[in-house]
Structure 1
Amino acid sequence: MLRFSKMHGLGNDFVVLDCRATPFALDEAGIRALADRRTGVGFDQLLSVEPARDPSCAFYYGIWNTDGSPARQCGNGVRCVAAWLHRAGALAAGEPVRLESPSGPVAVRLLSAHEVTVDMGEPRFDPARIPFAAEHEAMRYVIEVDGTTLEIGAVSMGNPHAVVPADGLADGAAERLGPALTTHPRFAQGANTGFVERLSRDHLKLRVHERGVGWTLACGTGACAAMAVLRQRGEVDGQVRVDLPGGALRIAWQGPGHTLWMTGPAAFAFEGEWPGA
């Protein structure tokens, strides 16, 4: 029996496995079986809590998508890992701590048992580091997607993101363009595609189609990416609220040379055992 915790951050849901003493052992087929919402448990991402590889970090967390593919970073997921560690007695509220993600160290601090602030690092706009096929770095890129010409921003928040201003899109266009842009060949590793509406200089509305998952109720790195792209263009202030279908996140970024901070909730749904492992 595989013991697990079911958690979510604004409806972006996770299965969390305690792998601190027992190594992670699921293969790709096992992950897909656990992810099935009819015959398994169901999740947007699977998170494993493991001993740190980096001695400067307290713990390592692995991330897998519903299709079994590994992910490099997950903003809502790291908040859930921090809340899970707090519940397990391994992390005190108010104490800053470094956790190790597949994309590198992340600083977190519990503001309460169910609210976490995370240093997501500095947004990376260099196309080679996203990765995104472009001759040079730019604030706006023109890209052809399924017969439609789009103007997008591209950035890495530990994983690749395409940010699309949604204001001028026809009704229903995002439903068609999201999956197509997520798998666009100019993104060598795929991309999380965010459709963002700027409601004011400190308020955004966002929907995200995630690679390896599909449409989600919330995407933490997607909220960071949307804010970073618009902040780089001078269209938003240094602190914004980002409304997602599952709720709101607070994002703060002073600009180049500074790291970006994300604050939001983490919630437990239930504990369980799965016999399929």
Structure 2
Amino acid sequence: MNLRFTKMHGLGNDFMVIDGIRQSLPETGLPLPADEIRRLADRKFGVGFDQMLIVQPAQGDADFRYRILNADGSEVSQCGNGARCFARFVREQGLTDKKSIRVETAAGQMTLSVTDDDQITVDMGAPRWEPDAIPMTAKAEADSYFLVSGTQAWEVGAVGLGNPHCTLLVENVDTAPVDTVGPLLESHEQFPERVNVGFMQIVNRNEIRLRVYERGAGETLACGSGACAAVVIGQRRDWLDDTVTVHLPGGTLHVCYDGQGGIQMTGPASHVYDGAIEIAL
């Protein structure tokens, strides 16, 4: 099959975006076989991406359905940077001309809003703090948890945003042990579905620096849901105010949350190129 796609990125977090409305994809299971997703994700032999995004017809009263596949072939429920790219893609492809777009995800319905300066605001929904909703194994909900691995222990905040996140406070993200601690915590036994791991440096009450080790993808240049997770975890500890600028290796996001409704995350989405590739189904 000749598969048409668009390569996009949100602050360097890159995506292979596939129109599943105007071209046929398998209707059951994963939109593509997991081994084919891994081949396409390979940066030397395939297209190369952190996640694959699939645009599909809505099953309910939304405008579209939105599916997210990691580079390792696993499916996840939420991706903030991907959501912004999704919004730009459906408008550029002529699938909609709406500036407010409702999409179905595995985590529920979300709204994407295109601003006058072509920034995109994503309503990420309300944070979920209960351990079962993250999901995480813990005796009770808490502001922070201690994760132990061998002789090492880390204090983290944890939250569910359609996908699980934990965030560590560090003095300097430039020297944070992302490459070593990230994989350990990603697959920690207290997170049955694995976890995205954020390393947060607080600059002041309205500004942080952040690096994120994403489950199924490793460290990425940006993670929108990780930025939201870090902000609400910092707010819960009274370290941060309602509006926070988040500096990631790939660029800057703006996150607003006042404790009511959903978390609002705003940032850019970039179109890199359009292409086609042969795949085996």
Distance in 2 separating the partners of 1:14 and 1:28: 16
Tell me by how many angstroms 1:216 deviates. 0.2
Distance in 1 separating the partners of 2:270 and 2:175: 33
* CA 1:28–1:230: 2 relative to 1, 3 Å: same
Tell me by how many angstroms 1:113 deviates. 7.1
Trace 1:131-170 onto structure 2 (pairs within 5 A): 131-145=135-149, 147-167=151-171
Tell me by how many angstroms 1:168 deviates. 7.8
Corresponding residue number in structure 2 for 1:259: 262
Distance in 1 separating the partners of 2:216 and 2:20: 23
Indicate the larger mover: 195-204 or 25-34: 25-34
Tell me by how many angstroms 1:174 deviates. 2.9
Kept in 1, the 8 Å contact 2:227–2:246? The answer is yes
Distance in 1 separating the partners of 2:88 and 2:34: 26
Q: Deviations over 1:32-65 (max 9, x none)?
A: 111111111010000010000122x100111000
* CA 1:214–1:89: 2 relative to 1, 3 Å: same
Trace 1:106-117 onto structure 2 (pairs within 5 A): 106-112=110-116, 114-117=118-121
What are structure 1's unaligned runs of at least 5 residues? Answer: none
Distance in 2 separating the partners of 1:275 and 1:123: 40
Corresponding residue number in structure 2 for 1:58: 63
Corresponding residue number in structure 1 for 2:223: 219
SS of residue matched to 1:21: coil
Kept in 1, the 8 Å contact 2:156–2:169? The answer is yes
* CA 1:113–1:85: 2 relative to 1, 3 Å: farther
SS of residue matched to 2:87: helix
Corresponding residue number in structure 2 for 1:208: 212
What are structure 2's unaligned runs of at least 5 residues? Answer: 27-31
Which of 85, 102, 107 is the equivalent residue of 2:106? 102
Distance in 2 separating the partners of 1:249 and 1:17: 25
Corresponding residue number in structure 2 for 1:76: 81
* CA 1:65–1:170: 2 relative to 1, 3 Å: closer
Corresponding residue number in structure 2 for 1:5: 6
Kept in 1, the 8 Å contact 2:173–2:199? The answer is no
* CA 1:169–1:151: 2 relative to 1, 3 Å: farther
Distance in 2 separating the partners of 1:243 and 1:145: 29
Tell me by how many angstroms 1:112 deviates. 4.3
Corresponding residue number in structure 1 for 2:36: 30
Q: Deviations over 1:115-156 (max 9, x none)?
A: 200100001111010011111100011111353211100001
Which letter does structure 2 place at the counterpart of 1:39?
Answer: F
Give the TM-score taking structure 1 as reference length: 0.95
Kept in 2, the 8 Å contact 1:5–1:15? The answer is yes
Corresponding residue number in structure 1 for 2:250: 246
Report how many aligned residue pairs link the two structures. 274
Indicate the larger mover: 169-178 or 100-109: 169-178
Question: Where does structure 1 differ by over 3 angstroms across 4 or more consecutive aligned residues?
Answer: 168-172
SS of residue matched to 1:124: coil
Is residue 122 of structure 2 the alignment partner of residue 118 of structure 1?
yes
CA RMSD in angstroms comes to 1.6
Identity value in percent = 42
